[in-house]
Amino acid sequence: MFKKWKQKLAIIFSTILMLSTLVIAPVQAQTTTSISAKSGIAVDAQTGQVLYAKNSSKVLPIASMSKMLSIYLVLKSIHEGKMKWNQRVHINANVAKISTKSGLTNVPLSTSRAYTVRDLYKASLIYSANAAVMALGIAQAGSSKAFVNEMRAQLQKWGITDAKIYNASGLTEGEVGKEAYPNTAKNDENEMSAKDVAIMASKLLKEYPEVLETTKQTSAWFAKGTSDAVKMTTHNYMLPKMADYLKGYNVDGLKSGTSDKAMACFTGTVKKNGHRIITVVMGASSKDEGNARFTNTQTIMKYVYNNFKPVNYKKGTQVATFKVPEGKVTSVKAVLKQATTVWVAKNQSTSSVDFTSNQAKNDSELTAPVTKGQKVGTAAVKLNDQNLTYLQSADKNLQLVAKKSVAKANVFVRFWRSVANVF
């Protein structure tokens, strides 16, 4: 009889332990919701915390999502004063030919007319005009090859090493004709992982958030008032008033992509309840004009906002206390240099969030004097003693600064402390 009770008690305690583990499981790269696409990811746009992932490191064709990188470089040049919005861009014969090629998304471009950078920029983002973005790349770098070299170099700076980039538009090398990168095959096509694309999108939004003023537009005119005038309509059907708009989710970007190899892809972004996320869907069914990429995106977005809650930490939140043995006071409070957000499951307590700090130097003490705002170390976020998943390793390290200045103690105080420590 006693043996049977022991067995029952063991089962009860095991069940309680299992349930408690489920309740406090940390927010990691989740796959508990199902999408039909080959790969996908969702991240916090500001912190890089990964909230959903499916095959997110698998390198796949990205088609016109490539244009986000091209536009990043164009905006960079504009901010640096190397290009101007009203600058006139002349079109070479190769690009003009591509602009009228059957089966490709384009606005017609003529060698006899110059177009403003702004018009080509809007055509690239709203209408996904392939020749337009190639014309921008040539204007910015001097040639298609030079622009691709810049694209590759930028990805390297971001720590993206597994991407394959051949042209500014995302078309196959065969489709861009004489603008193809030297020594490439006709079926070569830009490739990246969903994680790579999310990094690219986050960099674009952080550094040039004004891009959303264009990507949120459902329609616009190109070369209005000329014989080349085109009424452009967005390919992002998740924007308000479009076919796949999700009520309560005011999507305002970013970029779709479609090709035979890439199938239907979409990088989306939405800000809801004050918190923006980025989603990437790759390799969705291209039937029904790529509708699956948007329904997959809806699934991911709803999953994130319905299952997780953001916990906000203000700039100046104390994370740790570091020793300052030679200071007038022997310790200093280490606080967050910038505000941050940590997503946790909705049924989790905010007390499950913990910060693990490391000082700027390997030693365990700070050297006085310490100045207010001085970098004193970093902190990593843990949830129930488990590390969170971030887009890049640098994303998980939060900068810590001294809350107050600490002057160096005089020689007599330091001597007395050293004597006291001996005894």
- CATH number at 255 reads 3.40.710.10
Q: How confident is the model at residue 360 (pLDDT cuts 50, 70, 90)?
A: low
* Residue 410: per-residue pLDDT: 77
- Which of 285, 308, 331 is where one domain is finished? 308
* Residue 41: per-residue pLDDT: 98
pLDDT at 157 over 90: yes
pLDDT at 6 over 80: no
Q: Tell me the backbone φ, ψ of residue 232, rounded to 5 degrees.
A: -90, 140
With respect to residue 1, please indicate whether it lies within any of the assigned structural domains.
no
Host domain of residue 175: 39-308
- Which of 273, 308, 343 is where one domain is finished? 308
pLDDT at 23 over 50: no
Q: What value does the mean pLDDT take over residues 21-30?
A: 40
* Residue 188: per-residue pLDDT: 98
Percent of the chain clearing pLDDT 90 (strictly above) = 78
* Residue 226: per-residue pLDDT: 86
Window from 184-188, 209-213, 397-401, 407-411 with minimum mean pLDDT:
407-411
Say whether both 291 and 401 belong to one domain.
Answer: no
Say whether both 123 and 259 belong to one domain.
Answer: yes
The rounded distance, in Å, linking the Cα atoms of 133 and 110 is 14
Catalytic: which of 66, 128, 202, 259? 128
With respect to residue 300, please indicate whether it lies within any of the assigned structural domains.
yes
Q: Is 255 annotated as a binding residue?
A: yes
Side-chain-facing half-sphere of 334: CA atoms under 13 Å: 22
Residues 68, 254 contacting (CB under 8 angstroms) = yes
Say whether both 149 and 278 belong to one domain.
Answer: yes
Q: What is the CATH number of the domain that holds 348?
A: 2.60.410.10
Q: How confident is the model at residue 18 (pLDDT cuts 50, 70, 90)?
A: very low
pLDDT at 290 over 90: no
> What is the residue type of 281?
V
Looking up tokens 């959303």, which residue turns up?
A: 212
Is the four-CA dihedral 67, 72, 77, 79 of positive or negative sign?
Answer: positive
Say whether both 224 and 334 belong to one domain.
Answer: no
Q: Hey, is 191 helix, strand or coil?
A: strand
What are the DSSP E strand ranges found in 127-180? none
Say whether both 164 and 101 belong to one domain.
Answer: yes
The rounded distance, in Å, linking the Cα atoms of 4 and 133 is 74
Give residues with Cβ within 8 angstroms of 362, minimum separation 6: none
Say whether both 327 and 273 belong to one domain.
Answer: no
Give residues with Cβ within 8 angstroms of 396, minimum separation 6: 380, 381, 387, 388, 390
* Residue 286: per-residue pLDDT: 67
Mean pLDDT for the chain overall: 90
DSSP states of 149-162 as a string?
HHHHHHHHHTT--S
Q: What value does the mean pLDDT take over residues 253-264?
A: 96
* Residue 227: per-residue pLDDT: 83
* Residue 415: per-residue pLDDT: 60
* Residue 288: per-residue pLDDT: 56
* Residue 13: per-residue pLDDT: 42
Over the stretch 302-324, which tens digit does the pLDDT of each residue have?
999 999 999 999 999 999 999 99
CA distances from 219 to 233, 293, 295, 396 (A): 4, 20, 22, 39
Question: How buried is residue 87: exposed, middle or buried, by Cβ count under 10 Å (0-12/13-18/19+)?
Answer: middle
> Which candidate, 306, 352, 260, places its Cα nearest to that of 63?
260
Active site annotation includes 128? yes
Residues 203, 43 contacting (CB under 8 angstroms) = no
pLDDT at 7 over 60: no
Say whether both 299 and 320 belong to one domain.
Answer: no
The rounded distance, in Å, linking the Cα atoms of 73 and 419 is 61
With respect to residue 200, please indicate whether it lies within any of the assigned structural domains.
yes
Say whether both 345 and 381 belong to one domain.
Answer: yes
pLDDT at 398 over 50: yes
Q: How confident is the model at residue 365 (pLDDT cuts 50, 70, 90)?
A: confident
Catalytic: which of 64, 124, 169, 193? 64
What is the count of structural domains for the chain? Answer: 2
- Which of 308, 323, 358 is where one domain is finished? 308
Residues 111, 97 contacting (CB under 8 angstroms) = no
> Which of 95-104's residues contact partners 24+ apart within 8 Å by CB, and which partners?
95/131, 95/134, 95/135, 95/138, 95/179, 96/131, 97/177, 98/130, 98/131, 98/134, 98/175, 98/176, 98/177, 98/179, 99/129, 99/130, 99/131, 99/132, 101/175, 104/130, 104/131, 104/171, 104/175
pLDDT at 1 over 70: no
> What is the residue type of 138?
I
* Residue 289: per-residue pLDDT: 54
* Residue 359: per-residue pLDDT: 78
- For the chain, percent helix, then strand, then coil, each to nearest 5? 35, 30, 40
Looking up tokens 């538009």, which residue turns up?
A: 169
Say whether both 230 and 342 belong to one domain.
Answer: no
Residues 27, 51 contacting (CB under 8 angstroms) = yes
* Residue 414: per-residue pLDDT: 60
* Residue 99: per-residue pLDDT: 97
* Residue 25: per-residue pLDDT: 37
Helices (H), 285-374: 291-307
pLDDT at 413 over 80: no
Q: Hey, is 226 helix, strand or coil?
A: coil
The rounded distance, in Å, linking the Cα atoms of 112 and 93 is 10
Catalytic: which of 54, 67, 203, 403? 67
Q: Hey, is 50 helix, strand or coil?
A: strand
